[in-house]
Amino acid sequence: MLQAGRLVQYSTPEALYSSPRTLFVARFIGLARELLSVVESWGSNGTMVVRVEDAVVTAQVGGLSYRERARTL
């Protein structure tokens, strides 16, 4: 799969469909389900509070750096 001339995922059609690696690939395949979300706070114990549309979710993401945590969303 190419995005703007750059290879973003090289896989079988089945793998592209079942495990898209980027939001671009998921959108292209037609699988993307996007929710507006905002990280409201980070806890010192590795938890974060995220507002997802009208719901508030607390998640445990211990052991990851800030940059890696942001990618898990």
Q: How many domains does the chain have?
A: 2
Mean pLDDT of 45-73: 67
Is 31's pLDDT higher than 80? Answer: no
Residues in the chain: 73
Residue listed under structure tokens 């090289």: 10
> Could you tell me the two tokens for 31?
């699988």
**Residue 63 confidence (pLDDT):** 56
Is 34's pLDDT higher than 80? Answer: no
Q: Do residues 6 and 29 share a domain?
A: yes
Q: Do residues 57 and 45 share a domain?
A: yes
**Residue 62 confidence (pLDDT):** 61
Among residues 69, 35, 40, the alpha carbon closest in space to that of 56 is found at 40
Torsion angle, alpha carbons of 58, 61, 65, 68, to 10: -90
Q: Do residues 24 and 41 share a domain?
A: no
**Residue 73 confidence (pLDDT):** 47
pTM tops 0.85, yes or no = no
Report the alpha-carbon distance of residue 19 to residue 6 in Å, rounded.
19
Range of the domain at 16: 1-34
Is 71's pLDDT higher than 70? Answer: no
